[in-house]
Every structure is written in C-alpha cells, then in structure tokens.
Amino acid sequence: MSEQPASAFSVSAASGVTVSPARRRAVVDALRRGAVPDSGLDLLATGLVRFEAAVDGELDAVAAGGSAFKAVRGEYGSGKTFFARWLGERAKRRGFAVAEVQVSETETPLHRLETVYRRATERLATASFQPSALRPVVDAWFYALEDDALAAGAEDSRLEQAVAKLLDDRLSEVSRGAPGFAAALRGYHSALGADDEATASAVLAWLGGEPHVAAAAKRAAGVRGDLDHFGALGFLQGLLAVLRDSGHSGLLLVLDEVETLQRVRSDARDKALNALRQLIDEVHSGRFPGLYLVITGTPAFYDGPQGVQRLAPLAQRLATDFSTDSRFDNPRAVQLRLPGFQLETLNELGRKIRDLYAMGSTDPQRVRSVADDAYVADLAHAVGGALGGKVGVAPRLYLKKLVGDVLDRIDQFPDFDPRADYRLTVDRTELTDAERHVATLPVAPAASADEVELDL
C-alpha cells in the first residue's frame, strides 16, 4: 500500500488487531463528541510513520539529558493536535511527563510565561497519573530523596535533615535563578510532616504558579509574592529537575494553536513572539535539560506578516525549506509540515473507525454490512461537500457524524438503514471556526448522501 499523507486521523492499524474495550470506548466516545482522543491514537495513526524515527531519536536525546524544539505546521484540520497527542503517547511510553497547553489570548497569553507554566502544571500527565500529576511527581521526588538519604547511611532520627540537605544540593542551580522554588518544596515537605494538609496544598498550588494563594501559607513556606514572567523560566528548570530525580525521562511541553498570537494587539503580539524566541534560545542553550518543546501553528502564522515573520530573529530560527515535494520533507528539520487530508484517506479513515466500532457492537456483522464501504465513502463525499469540498477540514465533523448519527443508530436499532432513514444535516452551531469559514451553508437537508453537490 502506498504511503498516505499524515493527517488528523490517519489510519494504519492492521485489520484483526485486538483492542481492549476500554481503549476502543475511549476513542469512539471522543469521536462521538467531535474531539481528538486523548489515548489510543496508535490505532488511527499511519501517515505519521515518516516522522517516527526522527521524533523517537529526539526523545531519546532529551532523555539522555539534552533538550529539543520542534515546530509543527498545518492548515486547520490537518492534524496538529492529533500529532501532538500521538507524540505525547510515544513520550509517555519512554517515561516522559507530558503537558499540552492551549495558547489563548485571554487565559494563556504567550507573552506572560507564568500563565504558560501554570497551565503546564495543571495539564501535567504521566503514564500513571492524569492531570494534574504535579503532586504525585513531587511526592515521588521526596520518596526518592528519602531513599537516597537512607542509602547514604542517614539514620532515621536525622532523616529530615538529610533530606533537606539533598534537596538543597539537587536544586542548587535552580535556586540561583528561582530561590522560591526550593523554598516552596521545603515548605510543602514541612507542612506534610506537621500533618497540615491545607498549608501543604496551598504551597503546592503556589509552586504550580497559582496566583491566588493565602498569605499565611506563603509565610509558612517562606515565600513571597506571585510567580512572574521571568521567574517562570526558573520554575520550569525546577520542575525538570524534580521530574528527572523522580524517575522521569523529561517533559514534553506542547504549546498548541500559537497562531492565536495573530489576533492579539500588536504590542502584546510582539512581546509574545519575543517570548517564544527567548524560550527557543533557552532550549538550544541547554538551560532546560530534559525538555522537548513543541509548538503548533498554521502556515499563515509561520509565513504571514502578523506571525513569525514579524520578528526577524524568530523567523531565522524557524526557517525551513518547503519548496520541494512534501514526500521529501526532512523530519529532522526545525519545522514539520502536516499535509492536508485527501478524500481517499478520509474514506479509509471511515472504514477503520467503522471496524473499530464494530468490535464492541452487539452485532458486528450488521454494522459492517449496513455501513458498508460504499456508504462510508458516500458520507465522506457528503460531509466534504457541505464544507465546500474542503476535505482537509472535514475529518472532525465526518467522524462525529459517522459515529454519533450513523453507527450508534445501526447498533441500537435493528431496522435502521442510513440510506433510507438518515439525512445529513450540518448546522452552523456545530462547526468550528475553521469549518464555518469554508462551509457552504445554509445547507438544505439532503434525502441521501448522493444528493449533496460536491465541488471537488
């Protein structure tokens, strides 16, 4: 089979693969909501194989004490969020912690790195713990310190002092730039030792960048004020040190949808672009051992006048040649290009999801026969037509319709026939901004998928 372009929901898992009910349910439930699954992405990803060797090599280098940066570019619907979560699953299997942060004009502005750090700790996840995994990670770190202290010969009566000394030694470099990080850890540990859960939780929240922490808790830990833009870089260093010493390979930090920077005021946009430039430089300087930083954005962000090109030093750092055929894109380059979805891969995707759904249905054969390959293809054509023939942005809506409107009904109603009993309707309220932009709406309900006019 020839290789298909990478896409939001590429398909490759061989037929007949056994999938646990929990994994299947998680994937199907997410698609029914019109969302990218948080797990089980290996069941859907195939065009991404071209990137596997490069990103795995970079993850291994980061795990060995290095750091890496990657920029992912693609149009809306081309699979940037899917790629990030697929990469996150690979990272977790290598022992990494993962944090996916949605850049937002109001809640997570990039020119205020303290908000990015706070969202990262809120979204921190590991193979064993879902967000927020900050507390389990910190607790595991203290357990490791205690084990190291005992292994070095510390007596039980002096264990606390030995742990405190190890804490200072391990965070000596971090403390030079962010003394509050080590102080907060000491305060957290002391509060736990005194069975003061309220203070411990409050101090840990402050360590995670939370600005609204009681003054009494901060006084107890010996810290003052709130985390700011510059202090966030020091706290990120501290978090990486804690992750490393608690047995993790590093941190994969994803800054998703950085193209939103194009919509902010010019002064805030310039600050954000400079913050991104600074962060990239710090990664390459070796300040953040164990960090794999990934950003995602649209081609307009990387190439347009309101994005990266607005700051020449940043544009130089991200410059990548995409003038050749996409088949020969260099996956080791600073930027990765995700080609848009094609109708052929959309059809293949539909068949894969149908088969995955059938694995857990009450009558798998009925699901496969009623939603046969021809119908799956017809629905793909119809949804693409409703979106002005822009197949590249169709996968999310297509899968939502296929699972929620068609497969669920086939599974629950023995006499349901989608060709006779289902009419595709697309309402503007169920579309994302990108889908609304290309949609040929209003669309009159069609009697069948075959009646939808296409502009292909």
**Whether residue 11 has pLDDT greater than 50:** no
> What is the token pair recorded at 236?
């990120």
The pLDDT value recorded for residue 13 is 41
Residue 192, both tokens? 């736990």
Pick from 445, 439, 450: nearest CA to 424: 445
Q: How far apart are CA 177 and CA 84, in angstroms?
A: 30
When the pLDDT of each residue in the chain is averaged and rounded to a whole number, the result is: 87
The stretches of 286-391 forming alpha helices (DSSP H) are 299-303, 312-318, 343-359, 364-370, 373-386
Long-range contacts of 318-326 (CB under 8 A, 24+ apart): 318/71, 320/71, 326/5
pLDDT tops 60 at residue 114: yes
Q: What is the average pLDDT across 324-340?
A: 90
What is the average pLDDT across 160-178? 85
pLDDT in tens, 399-454: 999 999 999 999 999 999 999 999 988 888 887 776 776 665 444 344 444 444 44
pLDDT of residue 342: 76
User: Does the pLDDT of residue 8 top 70, yes or no?
Assistant: no
Write the pLDDT tens digit of every residue in 146-162. 898 889 888 877 888 88
Element (H, E) at 184: helix 179-193
CB crowding 300-314: b at 16 or more within 10 Å, else e: ebbeeebbbebbeeb
Supply the pTM of this predicted model: 0.83
Query: Which tens digit of pLDDT belongs to each residue from 266-315?
Result: 999 999 999 999 999 999 999 999 999 999 999 999 999 999 999 999 99
What token pair was written down for 99? Answer: 């944090």
pLDDT of residue 79: 81
Instruction: Find, among 339, 347, 386, 436, the residue nearest to 79 by Cα.
Output: 339
Q: Tell me the pLDDT tens digit for each residue of 23-73.
A: 899 999 999 999 888 888 777 775 688 899 999 999 999 999 999 999 999
Task: Identify the residue with better confidence: 348 or 51.
Answer: 51
The per-residue pLDDT for 36 is: 83
CA atoms within 13 A on the CB side of 280: 22
DSSP class of residue 79 equals S
pLDDT number for residue 405: 96
Query: Over pLDDT 70: what percentage of the chain?
Result: 89
Percent of the chain with pLDDT over 90: 63
- CA–CA gap between residue 257 and residue 278 (Å, rounded): 18
132 or 177, higher pLDDT:
132
